[in-house]
Amino acid sequence: MQYTVDVSIIIAIFALYGFVHSLLASKKIKFLFKKIFGELIAFYRLLYNVFALFTLYLIYEFSPKPNLLIYDLPNPYDLIVLIPQFLALAGIFWAFNFICFKEFIGLDQIKRFLGKAYKTELDEEMTLIIKGPFKFSRHPLYFFSIIFLLFRPTMDLFYLTFFACIVVYFYIGSYHEEKKLTEHFGDIYSEYKKSVPRIFPLKIFKPYKETFAES
């Protein structure tokens, strides 16, 4: 019974986190922030990312931790399982090779603001790129992160619950992201969605265009 209660609390806390995170990522809140603070919206993405990471740490640190061991791989399997983790980490770096990391975390926005060159519509300049891993998954960072988090030499009930919540959060978050991308890029992104799986690269294809220019 205690395990059920603990898991329910973890899911409820994570659901609240996801709701707040999605709300802060919405255009409505960003427009409100811009209306109140003007060009200081340039700082929004960095603050948003810091808040997201900090609150995720708080959830991980202070959530109930049901002490139920699911598996503990013996040697050498505890080392073999690190191979897909390493490959997933390499995949994350591969995906970031096609993304402007500074724009992703919010530093380029602040640089443009300080240089009096901030002209983006809200907190980021949206760019649609179909290269590298984006040929096979619309959200390769989510895919590689899932693989990295999944393969572990030990697994307990707390981590399994936490992992499941993150996967669900990725899927819900990708839905909201794609809604904005479809509004911004229109038919181009709609066609991309028809050709490329959302997260898991279940099919290999040759994209009809390598890249799309910045809007």
Residue 5: CB atoms within 10 Å: 11
Mean pLDDT, the chain, whole residue set: 87
Q: Taking the domains of the chain in order of start, what are their residue ranges?
A: 2-195
Q: What is the DSSP string of 145-200?
A: HHHHHH--SEEEHHHHHHHHHHHHHHHHHHHHHHHHHHHHHTHHHHHHHHHS-SSS
By the 10 Å C-beta count (0-12 exposed, 13-18 middle, 19+ buried), 35 is classed as exposed
Nearest to 133 by CA among 97, 165, 158: 97
Report whether pLDDT(106) > 50.
Answer: yes
Interacting residues of 64 by C-beta distance below 8 A, sequence separation 6+: 5, 6, 9, 10, 158
pTM: 0.87
Report whether pLDDT(134) > 60.
Answer: yes
Q: Is 107 left (phi over 0), alpha (psi -120 to 50) or beta?
A: alpha
Q: Percent of the chain beyond pLDDT 90?
A: 53
Q: What is the pLDDT of residues 42-83, one digit of tens each?
A: 999 999 999 999 999 999 888 998 889 999 999 999 899 999
Cα dihedral 199→208→215→48 (10° resolution): 10
